[in-house]
Amino acid sequence: MGSLWIRVIVVIMISVLVLEAAKWSNGCWDEERTALLHLKSFFNLKMMEEGPDCCEWKWGWVECNVTTRRVTGIYLNVAKYYFNYKLNTSYLFNASIFLPFEDLRTLDLSYIGFAGSVENQGIEKLSKLRHLQNLSLAGNDLFTGSNLTDEIKLLSRMNSLEILDLSRTNMTNNYLSYLGGFSSLRSLTLQGNYLQGTVEIEDFYNLKKLDLSQNGIETLQSSYGSGGLINLQEIDLSYNLFDNNILAELGGCLNLKSLNLRGNRLIGAIDVKEFCGWSNLESLDLSLNWLESFPVAEKRCFKKLNFLYLEALSTNGNTTLVSLLEPFPSVKTLFLRDNYFLNNTEVNQQLHVLRNVENLILDYTPLPFNFLESIGILTSLKTLSLYGCGLTGTLPTQGWCYLKSLEELSLRRNALAGELTSCLGNLTSLRYLDIAGNYFTGNVADTPLTNLSMLHFLSLSVNQFHVPLSFKSFANHSNLKVLLARGNKFAAEPATSQTWSPKFQLKVFDMSSSEIEEDGKLQLPNFLYYQYDLRYIDLSYCSYGGIGFPHWLVENNTRLEDLLLINTSIVGPLFLPSHPNPNLKTFVLSYNHLQHEIPRNFCSIFPNLETLWLRGNALKSTIPVCLGGMQHLIYLDMAVNNLFGGIPKELAMSRSLVFLDLSLNTLSGKIFPPIYYFFNSLAVVLLRGNKFEGEIPDFSTISSTNLHVLDVGFNHLSGKLPKWLWKNTNLERLDLSRNHFEGSIPMEFCNLVDLLFLDLSENHLSGTIPSCSNLQKIQYVHLRKNKLSGPLSPAFNGSFLVTLDLSENSLTGEIPDWVGMLPNLSILLLKANQFDGELPVHFCRLYALSILDVSRNKLSGRIPSCLSNLTLILRTERDISHPLYNMIMYSAFRNVLAGSRLTIYDLISNKVYYDGELPSSQLYFLKYGAEYIEFPTKYRVYTYQGKILVLLFAIDLSCNRLTGTIPPGLGNLSEIRGLNLSHNNLTGAIPSTFSKLKQIESLDLSYNNLTGRIPSELTEMTALAVFSVAHNNLSGPLPNRKNQFGTFEENSYKGNPLLCGPPLNKSCSEGTPSASSSEEEHGPVDMGYFYISFAVSYGIILLATVAVLYINPYWRRAWFKFVEDCSTACYFFIVDRLGRLPCFRTNM
């Protein structure tokens, strides 16, 4: 009978499978696969998914039941974090697109960009997903301007929902009471909302975890007291406004295991009796409060307390270790990070209260100088972290050396120096030792490190050790898995010492940024030939003297994931291992001397690469077509090589690629159609400095929310600017400079509201600049050397503008006042236009200004004296990195430490101050080359960029129609390096205050109407390299030929006939006309008055002569006789001379 039932069940199961076969497609349900594709399209997700089985799609955004192959998990936020670009688009929530997933258990829609809901398809419709257990709507604007009371009530009918995350959804107090209707809810997260004041909590009887952190809550109330949270085990109330009363308000939470009150308003002494009701409390966080003590020592209240956080406390100066910690004798893990009250010698006498502590974290806490000598009494310590505690001097020989139970020790980032003390060898239980970032010296082979054979993790980085290149000192460290030695000096050894077989098999090895001692040659450590389990290796920034690519490293270590060999002097062709390595994710060989072609089998050897950097080599090859088929490739950088040919269509069609840099090669051909496909997924496209040519077609279908950076400058592209360009509304950097584009800049340009950097320089663009009012984020504008005309529109009047370069166009009209009201404007270049009117007085308000060039215009009027108020501040180097950095994740390192069961890593791995120091990830800011400008000085036009640009302070007002005197206050611009006022109509004397310009290198005052002497004080300008006052009306002796004035030749003074003295060929004598002392003291003669007085004097003399001739007839006859004789003599002289010419003789 039993066997009959078995046969029936089997037949039924087979029948069900046959009937359902139509719904399956190689393991994935057809309707669910279709729904997933619809989701990708709706949210514009750019992951490339291949194959009919959606359960096998990569990127981890789909999760399936192994047996039924139904979709059980959807994580739509994966695209945002994995590809690392912003999803700025807003969506209306539409529940219907999720309803096909009938067996859905987890739905993560965090930070997708929801702003409201489709009518009748709001979040309440998710109640139809009967199996949904975990729902995250965090980071979506669901509650602003909406009344979702009814929707929340309907959603609470979901009897299966256990985890709900509504963080940062702009929720307010009135919704909280409706959330109590979720009878099955176990975890509720409401972090970072607008919950304020008094918050009422009702009906959360089954809730075990509640997160109300980062709100503005002052008190918690419930009609049931705190009995409404009777089953609560974890509550996070951090960063609110709670005071001491919160402890009483939570008194009914009898099952509480974890309480976080970090960053509130707890103050003064806390009565320990307040905690006695929580007999199960295991973790307590009271950090960032104003605590002083726990005066009642009820030690029995904390029998189960294991974790205590008392970080960054604000104290009154009387707080002691005893007053804080005596009530907590059972604590095993204690965080006292960033506490300044411990920086006194009395602390050393109070360490007995820590006698039961096993894990002590004191990072960033200033400690007394003899702390390490006193800590020996803490014999229970297993983990001690003293990161950045300001420890100085040498390591003591007593105290800390008695901690024989110590397993993990961090002394990273202190100022400890000298050799490692021998008693370190007593700590034989050490598994983790981090002494990086100090000033330790000595040869590692002679230190007690050789005795610590239990070590799993050892970091010696950034010290002054001499490390034997063979690493034979660690021959007996059979447990060693992580060895970090970057930033030290390696000691060369005899060849015999290099040959040895290690007992350890490393997983992580880093000796980057190191050098060899004198007379040595840096080599790859020989022990690497015997390593077969490496997951991460970094040998960057070491000169190995022209070795070939160590392909054996990849061949031997089949689990290798991250290989970094930046700037290691690798030469020759890129030889690859003979067998594929499917685990390699990061392959970085930038800035070496690789030559010849990229091997054709590259893609098959490394099929799962995510990061490929070959930048700055000498590769001479076409771009391998197979790169387009690498489904996991995200970052591709092959810039600064000798690549030729075009961009393969297969590469352009990659759906996984996010970052592409092919700049500074010799690629050629049409940039389209290949670039058309780039907009599928790419966020950054850098094709600068190639030989691409032709027009860019106007594909009306192109519109990307992914593209943030497009740089195709310095090519041979032509035609008009395509209209599709202005549809990429998330563009933040656009560089089309040094091409042959023509036509106008359209009004659609104003759509680029996120634009930060714009460079359209050196094209043939014409017309006016569009008048925009929404480009408020823009910081750098370069439009020089075009044919733009008309007045200067207020398109770039945003308060963040740093650089405005409109040089060498045909802009007209007056310089608008708004230019002088830009608070962050540092560089203003308007030269070679047709601006007229006066120099705006508003320029004096440009307090961040460092470079001003308005030369070769038609400006008139006086130089505003208030220009002397410019501060010419020193800027930091112009960093025009992309604002969105790329984080290259070295998951191998993180996985190694996670699997090593190291307590210290678990406790600190999520802390920001470790980012970038341990090779678990690295931030790569996308630098596109320093900003450069052209500025004329020293009789030439120079290009300035990078650090030189930072140091340039200059003003050029030359070739205008400026009048009046030079304001003496310009001598107060003490940091200025270049001042050009030439080719104007300036009058008056040269201000002697110019002698205060100690940094000036170029001063040009030529071609004006300056008068008076050249002030002798100018010889104090010792940095002056170019000086010209040519073609003025200066007079008197030249300054003494000392300092820089001894180098100036005659050309600096020519065109001033009244000047004398060397180097002019005119000596100064007593009869030499010179400016009177009165003129020097009181200023120059006004030329207007001079002309008037001259005319009046001439008229008086003429009238006097006529009067005399009229009165005296004898003189009158003599005068007319003289005039007649002169006329006759002149006539015969002219006739006689003309008669001698051939043409006149013929006529005669």
In this predicted model, what pLDDT tens digit does every residue of 241-298 receive, in sequence order? Answer: 999 999 888 888 888 999 999 999 999 988 877 787 788 999 999 999 999 888 765 5
The answer to whether 784 touches 829, Cβ cutoff 8 Å, is yes
Q: Please compute Rg for the chain using Cα positions.
A: 40
Structure tokens at 660: 């592409």
SS3 content of the chain, % helix, strand, coil (to 5): 25, 25, 50
- Fold of the domain built from segment(s) 734-872: 3.80.10
H-helix or E-strand spanning residue 41: helix 30-42
Q: Which whole number is the average pLDDT over 467-473?
A: 88
CB 187 within 8 A of CB 164: yes
Where do we find the tokens 């050029």? 956
Structure tokens at 283: 């973790």
For position 113, what pLDDT does the model report? 79
Place of tokens 């509130």: 264
Whether the pLDDT of residue 1085 is over 70: the answer is no
The reply to whether domains 22-194 and 734-872 share a CATH topology is yes
Confidence of residue 664 (pLDDT cuts 50, 70, 90): very high
Side chain identity, residue 212: L
Burial (CB count <10 Å: 0-12, 13-18, 19+), residue 24:
middle
**Domain boundaries along the sequence of the chain:** 22-194, 535-621, 628-707, 734-872, 890-924, 958-1085, 1088-1118
Q: 955 is written with which tokens?
A: 């003003």
Q: Which amino acid is at 152?
A: I
The whole-angstrom separation of Cα 956 and Cα 190 is 58
Alpha helices in 144-245 (DSSP H): 149-155
**Cβ(506)–Cβ(534) under 8 Å?**
yes
Q: Give the DSSP letter of residue 194.
A: B
**pLDDT of 146:** 64
Tens of pLDDT, residue by residue over 748-774, are 899 898 899 999 999 999 999 998 888
pLDDT, tens digit (0-9, with 9 covering 90-100), for 702-744: 555 678 889 999 999 999 998 888 888 888 899 999 999 999 9
- Is residue 429 pLDDT above 60, yes or no? yes
Closest by Cα among 408, 413, 319 to 364: 413
- Cβ 526 vs Cβ 532: under 8 Å: no
Which of the pair, 911 or 1112, is modelled with greater confidence? 1112
Reported as a pLDDT band with limits 50, 70 and 90, residue 238 is: very high
CATH number among 3.40.50.720, 3.30.420.40, 3.40.50.1000, 3.80.10.10, domain 22-194: 3.80.10.10
Decide if pLDDT at 816 tops 70. yes
Q: Is 70 exceeded by the pLDDT of residue 5?
A: no
- Amino acid 59: pLDDT: 64
pLDDT in tens, 291-308: 988 876 555 678 889 999
Please give the backbone phi and psi of residue 273, each rounded to the nearest 5 degrees, phi first. Answer: -60, -25
Longest Cα–Cα distance of the chain, Å, equals: 169
Query: Which residues, 6+ apart, have CB-to-CB distance to 84 below 8 Å?
Result: 658, 683, 884, 885, 886, 887
- What's CA 818's distance to the chain center, in Å? 29
What was the pLDDT predicted at 1098?
75
* Contact in structure between 177 and 199 (CB atoms under 8 Å): no
Residues contacting residue 1096 through CB under 8 Å, at least 6 positions apart: none
pTM recorded for the entire structure: 0.81
Residue 252 has which token pair? 């009914």
Distance CA 897, CA 892 (A): 9
Integer Cα distance of 987 and 1009 in angstroms: 5
- Contacts for 336 with CB less than 8 Å, ≥ 6 apart: 310, 311, 342, 360, 361, 362, 365
Strands 106-108 and 1058-1060: unpaired
CA distance 131 to 95: 15
The counts of H helices and E strands in the chain are 19, 74
**Which residue is it, tokens 């159609």?**
673
* 1060 conformational bin, left if phi > 0, alpha if psi -120 to 50, beta if neither: beta
Q: Closest by alpha carbon to 31, among 47, 51, 52?
A: 52
Closest alpha carbon to 312 in 262, 265, 355 = 262
- CATH 3.40.50.970 for domain 958-1085, yes or no, is no
Mean pLDDT value across residues 417-432: 93
Determine contact, residues 792/816, Cβ cutoff 8 Å.
Answer: yes
CA–centroid distance for 1088 within its chain: 59
Strand partners, 666: 644
Between CA 1078 and CA 734 the distance in angstroms is: 60
Q: Is the separation of the CB atoms in 463 and 489 below 8 Å? A: no
Q: b/e per residue, 617-656, with b = 16+ CB within 10 A?
A: bebbbebbebbbebbebbbbbbbbbebbebbbebbbbbeb
pLDDT in tens, 494-539: 766 666 788 999 999 999 998 887 666 788 888 999 999 999 999 9
8 A C-beta contact, residue 861 and residue 843: no
Judge contact between 824 and 848, C-beta under 8 A. yes
Q: What is the DSSP string of 414-470?
A: SEEEEPPPGGGGG-TT-SEEE--SSEE-SBGGGSGGGG-TT-SEEE--SS--EEETT
| Mean pLDDT score, 418-445 | 93
